[in-house]
Chain A
């Protein structure tokens, strides 16, 4: 374990723990940041478009593509038979063909590819196909899947501790219920895109908008039947990823590569928004059945729950996603006896995939519903129920998670107390209850909900990263690592690590496109782990170079190594002060190796899925939010009046960027839980497949007052990079408080006697229907 010294003087431009703007900020606002579609096109490049099926479950009986082939501008039409290896299953289950020629498993599944001179010509031609089908019965929802016997796409998981059945039977109070938690479309602003450029021999270069260049590399090598060393993948930046570009780009990169090989031309495939939303996976929706045992104080005695997920037609990442839903079923709470299981159900819908939080948020939504149920059953402020159930102090008998990991770093009680105090939660709740008494139509609600989020890939092997650092003779530094930049500021933070290590200004560090050619065998930039892993790997590379430099200086100047010190933009050797570039230049002439590959693997973690026990997470991140809403009880419309967030990112490497992640995560989570509705019709067609029908938050959906603060006092107890904590995913869970505040406003119509049990997303329709239910109950 490398111990990171955080006591360096911070006078360089761009040190650790300081606000720095995104490395591409200037280019973003000037319109000069190049995304893949903006790059100069290789000469002779052709464009691909996918041809989609329009059945949810069917056998293709005939496919007449003659009109497609004869359409203007068309160069070639590819079908399954052009793919000798017709498989892009990231789960290695061979359940995901690139193109289907027989069995259609979801509405929109690609069946052919058109290659044409222009993108428009390709798209137009794709419409001309005549496909005949023989329909098969389609299973579209969790309920239908369960009714049909519940086929799984992957192995379910059970987490168990203690004896839940007995605890439930003996608990003074008991509630059973069900909740539906909707899915979510990523809606990265930049859709999927890949360019494949054939090289000599078996070589293929791919530019793809991907969070996982190594997987694209492996998948392209797989479909081309060439070794991995023949394929090089690049990505400089994505216009958003959010998990939607972890595995979902495989298919399009494979298409571009196979077409490029066949036609010996560069091929670009860029999906139209509607195609992207129809043909790529989303956040899993769940139906949660729960059974809770508790006492008069609101303390949980036992929990049993089943998390049934609509996984779609293939496994993809559904295994780890549904696993993670269970890893978060406790959220911040200790369950003395618990038994929870996942049902990763196969359905004839697009295969659901990773999305910021990776199933975790759905688990947390369940946990918060449990708290809400208990509060309404007992007539308590839900915050009191929450506090009664928080994990205990280290060493107490309330520290064990359902997966048998001990919570050692619990800061939740402090964080929540601080937030409640700062936001005047108790007083405002009283005022709102008084307001609701006298307000006929508009009702208000307020809620405080927490998030505790386990950090690490639950697949232990993925918790590794590499980096490559070169220092050139002029003292400029080239930085490369396996992490990808999708807007989260990873490149900036890792560059700060390097600048800080060498004590040089940040603009001396050049951040270069992620590529499999420089750092191999990388993990997806996912699970919030980007900075934890790549920051450490980069630090390791810099450390190696520095050690060589120190040894060189000690030797040359004849001073002890302790007398060599990297000061801002200069190096002190004994009493000599040498500007960094000069120092480097001297090292070069002394034949010091100025390049290093760094590596990091997260220590201490292990997980045994068979026993459901281990330490899957290195540490936990914490946060909480208070939201206040107004609801129109005649229509179910609502406005979020205010939200306050206090969030823990440990000792932040870049508070401005981290705060941006928290704000953005909150609003994205709020969209998921409120207006973002995926609506499939009876034929299995997704009808909300464009921003005209699928409504992500606008500026005018943001809480009218929105205060986000980082818990500045928090420092990671464990030696992570700069003692920081991950930030990507946990904030997505914060806006559960919005849902519960809406729920409280609804509950007011029946004097808070009943838990409204609103499913998510809480569209105006769901809100109004809940009001009706409560009024007539």
Chain B
């Protein structure tokens, strides 16, 4: 049975043939004529296309908001896709968040609204009484050009206040039935879908993935599609064969031991959030500045590394932590330092048939100070102009015992600051040292000028981040955080 099967709202969908790169958004709007889900950008940034995708994880049905515009249909096997049309009950009764948005003027032109409803519904499902900061995080992936957002906040607060007394909505009532259906739809072997010249491969397990990739090393692996999606919607690339991997449970594991955290390659940002925030608070804070919630629900850290971009945010963070990446092929597995994975711009240490299996991150010692500073034009949902990660250990005398510094956005790859590290090691950790180290940083990097920042700014800010690090190691806060001043009663 070579079919993709999933549930769309309340209908089971069976697809025999579809292009590997048909986006969920186009399929919904053009094939199903469900036009409530909108296209605002086609690249995961505006959230107008937000839908929910529900999956059975450990016998629980978990719904997450995703960007339909960069989600490929073959990746939806055994999921429940929920669109705005399915939000109101069969009797037309709106969910509390819809009602509140309508009553409290949370829409103006209304084009962003279906996406905002889906994002906020997902938020309230998880956090029935969200704080303003939590609402902001839930809306990082939703642009509204009309309202200025304030009315949307008012609506969320009103909806949250009324949630307890609201009658259960459709998704709540159908949980059991959907779980049973999805379990039924789970493929029992590797699926291959043909469409004209193009093919999708949905491996049953990691071994099948290794086999398929060994046979077709030119296949494109798709995990969360938050990078690959744009190759299709923006560069109009036609990809085939495509191997989908985000459903592989073996690659979804999170293992925490006494000295390290191991993330399977397709663990999403959202799934990694808790374990990373607990062990590496700075990384936890970085994660919620990557993309918007929808992107974090799809995008994987494995993909962020595999993609090899010089401006990916997790590579410098992982390099500073001396993390390793495990590559697997049909012939076995090998590990190498994340740092060594990046050879030069556009070139990574991945052989034919090798895929990323996992990342291993050594935990911090109690006396290690770890910081990540991401600088972008807009605070959230923006690609870094530069992103610096620092792991520092001082000796008893206050000298630098060891330091690892890695920057993204400063070179053709995420890169260590070798000169600066060497210079700092053994020196007293104070203003004089840091000020002298600025010149070393200029030896380490020759950044470029582009639309995100000029070379001068990148260098100056990078140098200033050493100062920020110095101040923050002393316990004083030297950076801005939303609501921090309000909470501190300033």
Known: A487-B146, A635-B375. A691 touches B45 (CB 8 A): yes
CB interface residues, B 469-490, toward A, < 8 Å: 471, 476, 478-480, 482-483, 485-486, 490
Known: A695-B377, A699-B140, A700-B379. A441 touches B468 (CB 8 A): yes
Q: Nearest chain B CB to A733's CB is how many angstroms away?
A: 14
Q: Do residues B102 and A25 form an inter-chain contact, with CB atoms below 8 A?
A: yes
CA–CA, A31 and B117, complex, Å: 9
Partner of A637 from the list B140, B375, B381 (CB cut-off 8 Å) is B375
Q: Do residues A634 and B478 form an inter-chain contact, with CB atoms below 8 A?
A: yes
Q: Do residues A698 and B143 form an inter-chain contact, with CB atoms below 8 A?
A: yes
Q: Do residues B454 and A765 form an inter-chain contact, with CB atoms below 8 A?
A: yes
CB-defined interface of A638-677 with B at 8 Å, one 1/0 digit per residue? 1101000000000000001101100111111000000101
CB interface residues, B 346-386, toward A, < 8 Å: 373, 375, 377-383, 385
Q: Do residues B482 and A700 form an inter-chain contact, with CB atoms below 8 A?
A: yes
Residue with the greatest number of chain B CB neighbours at <10 A, chosen from A273, A440, A690, A700 = A700
Q: What A residues does B110 contact at CB under 8 A?
A: 22, 24-25, 27-29, 33, 237, 239, 487
Q: What B residues does A123 contact at CB under 8 A?
A: 236
Does B90 touch A at the CB level, under 8 Å?
Answer: no
Q: Do residues B26 and A635 form an inter-chain contact, with CB atoms below 8 A?
A: no
Partner of B380 from the list A31, A690, A700, A765 (CB cut-off 8 Å) is A700
CA–CA, A127 and B145, complex, Å: 30
Q: Nearest chain B CB to A458's CB is how many angstroms away?
A: 25
Q: What B residues does A562 contact at CB under 8 A?
A: none
Does A101 touch B at the CB level, under 8 Å?
Answer: no
Known: A273-B43, A637-B480, A691-B41. A664 touches B146 (CB 8 A): yes
Partner of A29 from the list B107, B382, B483 (CB cut-off 8 Å) is B107
Q: Do residues A21 and B105 form an inter-chain contact, with CB atoms below 8 A?
A: yes
Q: What A residues does B83 contact at CB under 8 A?
A: 31
Q: Which of A166-174, A301-309, A704-712 contacts B (4 or more CB under 8 A)?
A: A704-712
Q: What A residues does B332 contact at CB under 8 A?
A: none
Q: Do residues A37 and B84 form an inter-chain contact, with CB atoms below 8 A?
A: no
CA–CA, A4 and B468, complex, Å: 62
Q: Which of B150-158, B202-210, B247-255, B406-414 contacts A (4 or more CB under 8 A)?
A: B150-158
Q: Do residues A28 and B107 form an inter-chain contact, with CB atoms below 8 A?
A: yes
Does B98 touch A at the CB level, under 8 Å?
Answer: yes
Known: A25-B102, A35-B111, A698-B380. A30 touches B480 (CB 8 A): no
Q: Which of A183-191, A212-220, A409-417 contacts B (4 or more CB under 8 A)?
A: A183-191
Q: Which of B31-39, B52-60, B216-224, B394-402 contacts A (4 or more CB under 8 A)?
A: B31-39
Does A579 touch B at the CB level, under 8 Å?
Answer: no
Does A588 touch B at the CB level, under 8 Å?
Answer: no
Does B42 touch A at the CB level, under 8 Å?
Answer: yes
Does A124 touch B at the CB level, under 8 Å?
Answer: yes
Q: Nearest chain B CB to A736's CB is how many angstroms away?
A: 16
Q: Do residues B148 and A702 form an inter-chain contact, with CB atoms below 8 A?
A: yes
Q: What B residues does A636 contact at CB under 8 A?
A: 457, 461
Known: A240-B146, A667-B148, A708-B150. A22 touches B108 (CB 8 A): yes
Does B136 touch A at the CB level, under 8 Å?
Answer: yes
CB interface residues, A 292-313, toward B, < 8 Å: none
Does A528 touch B at the CB level, under 8 Å?
Answer: no
CA–CA, A239 and B41, complex, Å: 13
Does B297 touch A at the CB level, under 8 Å?
Answer: no
Q: Do residues B38 and A189 form an inter-chain contact, with CB atoms below 8 A?
A: yes
Partner of B109 from the list A38, A239, A667, A768 (CB cut-off 8 Å) is A239
Known: A273-B41, A664-B108, A768-B461. A700 touches B136 (CB 8 A): yes
Q: Nearest chain B CB to A543's CB is how many angstroms away?
A: 30
Does A442 touch B at the CB level, under 8 Å?
Answer: yes
CA–CA, A687 and B450, complex, Å: 9
CB interface residues, B 79-95, toward A, < 8 Å: 83-85, 87-88, 92, 94
Does B321 touch A at the CB level, under 8 Å?
Answer: no
CB-defined interface of B17-44 with A at 8 Å, one 1/0 digit per residue? 0000000001001100101111111110
Q: Nearest chain B CB to A312's CB is how many angstroms away?
A: 19
Q: Nearest chain A CB to B205's CB is how many angstroms away?
A: 33
Q: What B residues does A488 contact at CB under 8 A?
A: 108
CA–CA, A246 and B174, complex, Å: 47
Q: Do residues A28 and B102 form an inter-chain contact, with CB atoms below 8 A?
A: yes
Q: Do residues B460 and A772 form an inter-chain contact, with CB atoms below 8 A?
A: yes
Known: A677-B451, A690-B43. A489 touches B111 (CB 8 A): no
Residue with the greatest number of chain B CB neighbours at <10 A, chosen from A118, A189, A486 = A189
Does B278 touch A at the CB level, under 8 Å?
Answer: no
CB-defined interface of B140-173 with A at 8 Å, one 1/0 digit per residue? 1011111111111100000000000000000000
Q: Do residues A239 and B38 form an inter-chain contact, with CB atoms below 8 A?
A: yes
Q: Do residues A237 and B109 form an inter-chain contact, with CB atoms below 8 A?
A: yes
Q: Nearest chain A CB to B148's CB is how many angstroms away?
A: 4
Partner of B147 from the list A27, A660, A768 (CB cut-off 8 Å) is A660
CA–CA, A123 and B132, complex, Å: 41
Does A32 touch B at the CB level, under 8 Å?
Answer: yes
Does B101 touch A at the CB level, under 8 Å?
Answer: yes
Q: Do residues A763 and B377 form an inter-chain contact, with CB atoms below 8 A?
A: yes
CA–CA, A769 and B135, complex, Å: 33
Q: Do residues B236 and A699 form an inter-chain contact, with CB atoms below 8 A?
A: no
CA–CA, A705 and B50, complex, Å: 28
Q: Do residues A632 and B482 form an inter-chain contact, with CB atoms below 8 A?
A: no
Q: Nearest chain B CB to A112's CB is how many angstroms away?
A: 16
Q: Nearest chain A CB to B251's CB is how many angstroms away?
A: 27
Does A717 touch B at the CB level, under 8 Å?
Answer: no
Q: What A residues does B144 contact at CB under 8 A?
A: 189, 699
Does B112 touch A at the CB level, under 8 Å?
Answer: yes
Q: What B residues does A663 contact at CB under 8 A?
A: 147-151
CA–CA, A705 and B486, complex, Å: 9
Known: A29-B117, A238-B109, A638-B480. A187 touches B145 (CB 8 A): yes
CA–CA, A639 and B486, complex, Å: 12
Does B46 touch A at the CB level, under 8 Å?
Answer: yes
CA–CA, A188 and B108, complex, Å: 12
Q: Nearest chain A CB to B122's CB is how many angstroms away?
A: 15
Q: Nearest chain B CB to A426's CB is how many angstroms away?
A: 18
Known: A660-B108, A664-B147. A274 touches B234 (CB 8 A): yes
Does A520 touch B at the CB level, under 8 Å?
Answer: no
Q: Do residues B147 and A639 form an inter-chain contact, with CB atoms below 8 A?
A: no
Q: Nearest chain B CB to A170's CB is how many angstroms away?
A: 42
Q: Do residues B143 and A187 form an inter-chain contact, with CB atoms below 8 A?
A: yes
Known: A663-B150, A690-B43. A699 touches B142 (CB 8 A): yes
Q: Do residues A31 and B146 form an inter-chain contact, with CB atoms below 8 A?
A: no
Does B467 touch A at the CB level, under 8 Å?
Answer: yes
Does B48 touch A at the CB level, under 8 Å?
Answer: yes
Q: Do residues B482 and A189 form an inter-chain contact, with CB atoms below 8 A?
A: no
Q: Nearest chain A CB to B252's CB is how many angstroms away?
A: 27
Q: Nearest chain B CB to A677's CB is how many angstroms away?
A: 7
Question: Could you give 27 example pairs across A and B, Cβ below 8 Å?
Answer: A25-B102, A28-B101, A28-B110, A29-B102, A30-B88, A190-B38, A190-B40, A190-B111, A239-B38, A239-B40, A441-B471, A442-B480, A632-B480, A634-B465, A634-B468, A635-B373, A641-B486, A657-B105, A677-B377, A687-B451, A691-B143, A698-B149, A701-B379, A702-B148, A702-B149, A706-B150, A765-B454
Known interface pairs A118-B30, A663-B151, A699-B142; 7 further A-B residue pairs with C-beta atoms within 8 A, sorted by A's residue number: A487-B111, A634-B468, A634-B478, A641-B486, A657-B105, A660-B105, A693-B452
Chain A residues with CB under 8 Å of chain B are: 21-22, 24-35, 37-38, 40, 118, 120, 123-124, 127, 186-191, 237-240, 242, 272-274, 435, 440-442, 486-489, 630, 632, 634-639, 641, 656-657, 659-660, 663-668, 675, 677, 679, 681, 687-688, 690-693, 695-702, 704-706, 708, 763-765, 768-769, 772
Nearest 3 CB-CB pairs, A to B? A31-B36, A487-B109, A239-B111
Chain B residues with CB under 8 Å of chain A are: 26, 29-30, 33, 35-43, 45-46, 48, 83-85, 87-88, 92, 94, 98-99, 101-103, 105-114, 117, 132, 135-137, 139-140, 142-153, 234, 236, 238, 373, 375, 377-383, 385, 450-454, 456-457, 460-461, 464-465, 467-468, 471, 476, 478-480, 482-483, 485-486, 490
